[in-house]
Chains A and B, each alone.
Chain A
Amino acid sequence: MSITYLEAIREAQARALKDDPRVFIYGQDVGAFGGAFKATKNLAKEFPGRVLDSPISEDAMMGLAVGAAIEGLRPIIEMQFADFSTVGFNQIVNQAATLFWRTNVPCPVTVRLPCGGTSGSGPFHSQMMEAIYAHYPGLIVLTPATVEDAYSMLLEAVAIDDPVIFCEHKFLYYHLKADKLPDTALPVGKARIAREGRDLTIVTYSAMVHECVAAANELASEGWQIEVVDLRSVKPLDTDTVIASVARTGRLLCVGEAWPWGGVTAEVIARVASEGYELLDAPPQRLNARNTPVPYHPNLWTAHRPTARAVVSAARKLLRT
């Protein structure tokens, strides 16, 4: 048996619905249709009245989720694409994220964002939104890169008493497979060493983990041992694991699919620079998407986001400094 990243997301939701009567799912086309990507396939049938189609109203979807959370429920909101969460942005960052701090009433809402680029998707179905949500106090932001993490972190997201932005990468939906669902998992807030090495640390997350591991494999044939750290959760960010890795390698490259201004890669470098400056043998570097909207055509798209090849050349340059 094998299970895809997308199926793991469906299975995690099925289990959350089964184990906890407080859970319900609300989003566009998530009911009988099973969601635009089929992440809620058959769930409406298995859990009548708890998997509901919403109107195309991201603001009201999020507001409803906060109201339900106040009443002790644990809503899962599916945004059809991460890009459309901007329409619900106000409710996420001003309503959900401030509720506990203002009132002491927790806000256990999980917002699933199908994010990231796939070829042909264009400027409005491809965005990475983790940085903008991580900027706001009161939100947890998760970026699973593996089938196992997609499953276990989504279950943990639903159990967390705070609003969680769950960034699931569409590029991984179908082709990433595992033999089975995990029984155990690292907790949210702990990064994972995806590949060990001693010459250079690459810190990354989400789909870029796979580009970076592929780059590390290629560099291994040249004799370089590259360590790849998968952040798993960008907020909270596991600075300790990053610094410990840099202590072993002395070199840091941060790779993200999001835009270059600010964001997760900048945050990681800022932390390493201020907390582990003396560990660095070379200036830390970062590699991001280009500073334009995400292009539609595959020729442009593959040149817009970091790829294994781009990671290899950035790493080589850093290894030579």
Chain B
Amino acid sequence: MLETVPGLPAGDATALGREKAVLAYGFMLRARLLDDKFATLYRAGKIHGGVFLGRGQEALSAAIGVSLRDSDVFAPLIRDAAGRLAFGEPIVDAVRNYLGSALGPMRGRDGNVHRGYPREGLLPMISHLGAMISVVNGVLFARRLKGQTGMVGVATLGEGGTSTGAFHEALNQASIEKLPLVMVVANNQFAYSTPNSRQFACDNLADRALGYGMGAHNVDGTSLPDCLATIGQAVETARNGGGPQLVVASLLRLCGHGEHDDAGYIDPKLKASPLGRDCLKLAEEYLLSQKLADAAQLAVWRSQVVGEIEEAVNQVQREPTPDPFTEKWTALSSPHLNEMHDEI
């Protein structure tokens, strides 16, 4: 499913080191520009419902996507456009789900960030925070029962989601079953408007790993090379039988909770602190300093990605929208057990 942008290297999780950084940067850039496009479409009234962006979290999310193989499992959340693309989601499907195309993965039945392909290991989030982790456990558990080995499952969550019972139940369950789960928590300092001081009272969320019997990892979520190293290590530890891993990344949400939210509650001092650095800019500086790209190259990549996004949006805008008259209006896969209530 992996998409290629001309000029940006294509590849998968087998890419190593420097190559991987370029690969991940490509997905960060795509995610950022795609998010910007969604924000523009939202303001133009072209999107039904909310728009939720991952600005500031692209390094972490892309690092997850490029650390996984096609045969792995990934349950992304609202700020994971980069990880989804890196795991193999076509840009056009992301656009379809936001614009409500009938050809999109959810066919207009669900929208925006609620999208995926369960059979291909990209799980479609339900909104209820924490609920996807045990589903990842179930996929891993089933594969083990079927005799498959060598896979990893990643679930993501914000720090706010760690306060749910579902989070606790699922991590405990993964640890009991010694499943190859990597739980990545993006501590972006706010859950909607709620600051960390009203969300948890421990010093470091990663300390919770000890209580479950998981491996613990902390990472600077603004740094692409750090995210690649830490996520890569957690994924490989889980893959090699090391049991479930908890990764906590520190960063700041560089946008509102959704595009409806101006995030006026975020202290400017926090924005000016190291947590508030833009991971995309840092990644570009890294590529330049490592001579993985020069300024001209970055500019070319950017315009290529812009072109790809424009093409996807243009295509989707010509696609059919869902039709209530041909919609089947049944939630069951067993037609003989349907009760029809729609003869109004």
Contact = CB atoms under 8 A, between A and B. Distances in A.
Given A64-B173, A90-B128, A90-B131, A73 B142 contact: yes
Nearest to A63: B134
B128 A94 contact: yes
Most buried by B among A60, A99, A137, A235: A60
B138 A94 contact: no
Interface string A152-174: 00000000111000000000000
B278 to A, nearest CB: 34
B126 A95 contact: yes
Contacts, number: 140
Contacts of A310: none
Contacts of B141: 64, 67-68
Interface of B: 105-106, 109-110, 114, 116-119, 123-124, 126-128, 131-143, 145-146, 165-166, 169-170, 172-173, 176, 330-334, 336-339
Nearest to B133: A63
Interface of A: 24, 49-50, 54-55, 57, 59-73, 75, 87, 90-91, 94-95, 97-103, 105-107, 137-138, 140, 160-162, 188-189, 235-237
A105 B141 CA distance: 18
Given A63-B131, A67-B142, 5 more contacts: A63-B170, A90-B128, A91-B134, A138-B331, A138-B332
Contacts of A106: 333
A102 B110 contact: yes
23 contacts: A57-B134, A57-B170, A59-B165, A59-B166, A59-B170, A61-B134, A63-B137, A64-B134, A64-B138, A67-B139, A67-B141, A68-B145, A70-B123, A71-B142, A73-B145, A90-B131, A95-B128, A100-B333, A101-B109, A140-B332, A162-B334, A162-B337, A236-B338
B131 A95 contact: yes
Nearest to A189: B337
A71 B146 contact: yes
Contacts of A161: 333-334
B331 A97 contact: yes
A218 B109 CA distance: 53
Most buried by A among B128, B170, B332: B332
A70 B333 CA distance: 13
B138 A68 contact: yes
A71 B139 contact: yes
A262 B181 CA distance: 42
B202 to A, nearest CB: 21
Contact of A67 (B117, B124, B140, B337): B140
Contacts of A54: 173
A160 B134 contact: no
A241 B334 CA distance: 21
Nearest to B117: A103
A103 B173 contact: no
B96 to A, nearest CB: 14
B333 A57 contact: no
Nearest to B130: A59
A138 B142 CA distance: 23
Contact of A63 (B106, B117, B138, B339): B138
A66 B176 CA distance: 18
- For the complex of A and B, list the 5 residue pairs with the smallest distance between their C-beta atoms, beginning with the closest: A67-B138, A63-B134, A71-B142, A138-B331, A60-B169
A106 to B, nearest CB: 4
A216 B124 CA distance: 51
B138 A160 contact: no
A160 to B, nearest CB: 6
Contacts of B330: 101
Contacts of A49: 145
Given A67-B140, A70-B135, A237-B339, A102 B333 contact: no
Contacts of A99: 118
A101 B331 contact: yes
B333 A60 contact: no
Contacts of A162: 332-334, 337
A57 B169 contact: yes
Contacts of B114: 102
A138 B126 CA distance: 15
